[in-house]
């Protein structure tokens, strides 16, 4: 087989592997280069998401949630579960099993769709040539009409707290603890810090989250963020806001953390410290100087709305380009680019990308927040409905949080859809579909929802936008 391809993708995360499969489905000769190598020297597909991100973190969140429920939520429901214990080794074994099954599945999908999988480190040279260095240091150069860079991101390491892999760890290390740390520190109250902090708190750690900013979850609608903050505090997560970590020292098997808050210099001691202060785009040794690809000042590959770089025939997608660092955003871009290479003209609707924080309660949203709309001077109406008034949520012992729908005051078109509460990650899909179809709040209000379901809260929030909720007193709020 010739080494010339229609499309070569560098990186087999949810951006890259999806792009390669879609390209092959569209009749293009596609290859995907991935450097990740397992301990037994095999290629590992699936990227951050499947190996050290979305999937393993959700496996641990699910297991730890069950453990916590068994310990604290069963008795009041009449279930007697005495001496519930957690077997960390078994939990990790299950997590690894799920990861293995899914990553192995991608190899199968490549095969089924005719994608060539190339094991090695890819580097884009000039004129869409890709040099691949294999694990033995051998290089081979491939040519393509189109190259898609999907090299993803890596955790940010900050000078006051360098990772040592044992006491001070990144998100990957936090998925691998072999025992429950007694005192766990987390730097950064972002999505990853909150999710991983929740896992270990549920398993018994005393968790302190140190966050530099004064506003909790500043990109989340603040009514939702405040509600979730209260619930996390109630669960025992100690979240210290307005506190900037300035140093971390390992002394006598403890991490001594110094930070500054409004009261001055503070110190805290932890058995483990997770540093979750964000991720940086990853392009190390992936772009030759004459590749023609430009980067912005923060190291993201510069692309237009359709993920085209400055170099002809070279595209970039996922965490390595602007926009939210989310697996589904990467995959959407992967599909769009493959379609564009095949001559179609789809676009990603960046206004309809859902965000989820998989804590308990979950936080999920799509579209604009009230704060954004206020800043833009838009007129809008708001409808909210609390899960405390939802029968199914009560039956499930998870009657906290709310659904909030924001609609344009003139057209009633839904501009924002926000949920904090049970299964928010699933419920938000209704908002995404509604917004993708340009629905009004009235469209949702006129839709029949099964009873009893959590989704009835969506119906009620939509009714509440026009002051017509049935199961709660209406407080019509016109802005």
List of residues contacting ligand FAD (CB under 6 A): 10-16, 33-36, 47-49, 53-54, 57, 121-122, 150-153, 171, 192, 282, 286, 318-319, 325-328, 330, 358
Residue among 55, 107, 277, 373 that touches ligand AMP (CB under 6 A): 277
| Choice from 168, 245, 286, 341 touching ligand AMP (CB under 6 A) | 245
CA-wise closest residue to 337 among 307, 298, 382: 307
Interacting residue with ligand AMP among 98, 212, 295, 433 (CB under 6 A): 212
CB of 406 to ligand FAD, least distance (A): 23
Of 73, 242, 278, 391, the residue at the interface with ligand AMP (CB under 6 A) is 278
Residue 3: how many other CB atoms lie within 10 Å: 15
What is the maximal distance between C-alpha atoms in the chain?
71
> Minimal distance in Å, beta carbon 475 to ligand FAD?
34
Rounded to 5°, the CA angle 380-384-387 comes to 165
Cα gap 385→225, rounded to integer Å: 16
User: Which residues on adjacent β-strands are paired with residue 155?
Assistant: 279
SS3 426: helix
Q: Which of 65, 72, 121, 451 is catalytic?
A: 451
212 binding partner (options ligand AMP, ligand FAD, none; Cβ < 5 to 8 Å by kind): ligand AMP
Member of 68, 211, 370, 460 binding ligand AMP (CB under 6 A):
211
Category of 317 on φ-ψ map: left (φ > 0), alpha (ψ -120 to 50) or beta: beta
Which of ligand FAD, ligand AMP, none has residue 18 at its interface (CB below 5 to 8 Å by kind)?
none
Active site residue 451: yes
Work out what residue 199 binds among ligand FAD, ligand AMP, none; the CB cut-off runs from 5 to 8 Å by kind: none
Nearest distance in Å: CB 282, ligand FAD:
6
Which of the residues 180 through 209 are near ligand AMP (CB under 6 A)?
187-192
Within 301-450, strands assigned E span 314-316, 355-357, 362-367, 380-386, 402-408, 414-421
Tell me whether residue 192 or residue 407 sits nearer to ligand AMP (CB atom): 192
| Residue from 149, 210, 320, 406 binding ligand AMP (CB under 6 A) | 210
Helix (H, G, I), strand (E, B) or coil at 89: helix
In the block, tokens 């098997």 appear at 253
Asked if 399 contacts 390 with a C-beta cutoff of 8 angstroms, the reply is: yes
Structure tokens at 209: 């989250």
Quickly count: other Cβ atoms within 10 Å of residue 172's Cβ: 16
Closest to ligand FAD by CB, 169 vs 461, is: 169
CB nearer to ligand AMP: pick between 43 and 198: 198
Picking from 95, 150, 100, 91, the residue whose alpha carbon sits closest to that of residue 124 is 150
Nearer to ligand AMP, 9 or 60 (CB): 60
Contacted entry of ligand FAD, ligand AMP, none for residue 10, CB cut-off 5 to 8 Å set by kind? ligand FAD
For residue 354, say if its preceding peptide bond is cis, omega within 30 degrees of 0.
no
Question: Shortest approach of ligand FAD to residue 30 CB, angstroms?
Answer: 15
Burial of 127 (0-12, 13-18, 19+ CB in 10 A): middle
92 binds ligand AMP (CB under 6 A): no
Binding of residue 168 to ligand AMP (CB under 6 A) = no
By C-alpha distance, which of 17, 25, 23 is closest to 43? Answer: 17
Picked from ligand AMP, ligand FAD, none, the partner binding residue 57 (CB below 5 to 8 A depending on kind) is ligand FAD
User: How many other C-beta atoms lie within 10 A of the C-beta of residue 443?
Assistant: 15
Neighbouring C-beta atoms of residue 202, cutoff 10 Å:
27
Give the residue nearest to ligand AMP (CB).
190
Contact footprint for ligand AMP (CB under 6 A): 158, 187-192, 210-213, 244-245, 276-278
Residues annotated as catalytic are 451
């Amino acid at each position: 087989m010739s080494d010339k391809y229609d499309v070569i993708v560098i990186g087999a995360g949810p951006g890259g592997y999806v792009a390669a499969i879609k390209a092959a489905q569209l009749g293009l000769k596609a290859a995907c280069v991935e450097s990740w190598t397992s301990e037994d020297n095999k290629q590992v597909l699936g990227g951050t998401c499947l190996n050290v991100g979305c999937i393993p973190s959700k496996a641990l969140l699910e297991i730890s949630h069950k453990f916590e429920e068994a310990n604290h939520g069963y008795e009041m429901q009449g279930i007697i579960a005495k001496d519930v214990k957690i077997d960390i080794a078994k939990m990790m074994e299950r997590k690894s099993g799920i990861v293995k099954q899914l990553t192995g599945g991608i190899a199968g999908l490549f095969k089924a769709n005719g994608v060539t999988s190339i094991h090695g480190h890819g580097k884009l040279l000039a004129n869409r040539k890709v040099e691949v260095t294999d694990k033995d240091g051998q290089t081979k150069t491939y040519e393509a009409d189109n190259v898609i860079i999907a090299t993803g991101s890596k955790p940010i390491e900050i000078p006051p707290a360098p990772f040592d892999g044992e006491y001070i760890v990144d998100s990957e290390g936090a998925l691998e603890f072999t025992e429950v740390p007694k005192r766990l520190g987390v730097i950064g109250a972002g999505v990853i810090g909150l999710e991983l902090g929740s896992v270990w708190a549920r398993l018994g750690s005393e968790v302190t989250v140190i966050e530099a900013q004064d506003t909790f979850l500043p990109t989340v609608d603040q009514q939702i963020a405040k509600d979730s903050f209260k619930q996390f505090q109630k669960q025992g997560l100690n979240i210290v806001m307005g506190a900037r970590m300035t140093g971390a020292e390992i002394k006598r098997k403890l991490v001594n953390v110094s930070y500054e808050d409004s009261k001055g210099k503070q110190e805290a001691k932890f058995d483990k410290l997770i540093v979750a202060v964000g991720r940086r785009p990853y392009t190390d040794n992936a772009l030759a100087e004459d590749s023609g690809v430009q980067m912005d000042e923060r190291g993201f590959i510069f692309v237009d709305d359709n993920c085209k770089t400055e170099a002809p025939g070279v595209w970039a997608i996922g965490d390595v380009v602007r926009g939210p660092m989310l697996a589904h955003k990467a995959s959407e871009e992967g599909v769009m680019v493959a379609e564009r290479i095949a001559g179609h003209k789809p676009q990603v609707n960046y206004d309809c990308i859902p965000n989820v924080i998989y804590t308990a309660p979950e936080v999920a949203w799509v579209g604009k927040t009230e704060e954004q709309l206020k800043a833009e001077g838009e007129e809008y109406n708001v409808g909210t409905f609390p899960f405390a008034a939802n029968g199914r949520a009560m039956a499930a012992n998870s009657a906290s949080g709310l659904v909030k729908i924001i609609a344009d005051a003139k057209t009633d078109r839904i501009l924002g859809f926000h949920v904090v509460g049970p299964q928010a990650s699933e419920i938000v899909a209704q908002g995404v579909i509604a917004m993708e179809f340009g629905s009004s709040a009235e469209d949702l209000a006129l839709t029949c929802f099964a009873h009893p379901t959590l989704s009835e809260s969506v119906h009620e929030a939509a009714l509440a936008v026009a002051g017509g909720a049935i199961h709660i007193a209406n407080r019509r709020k016109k802005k």
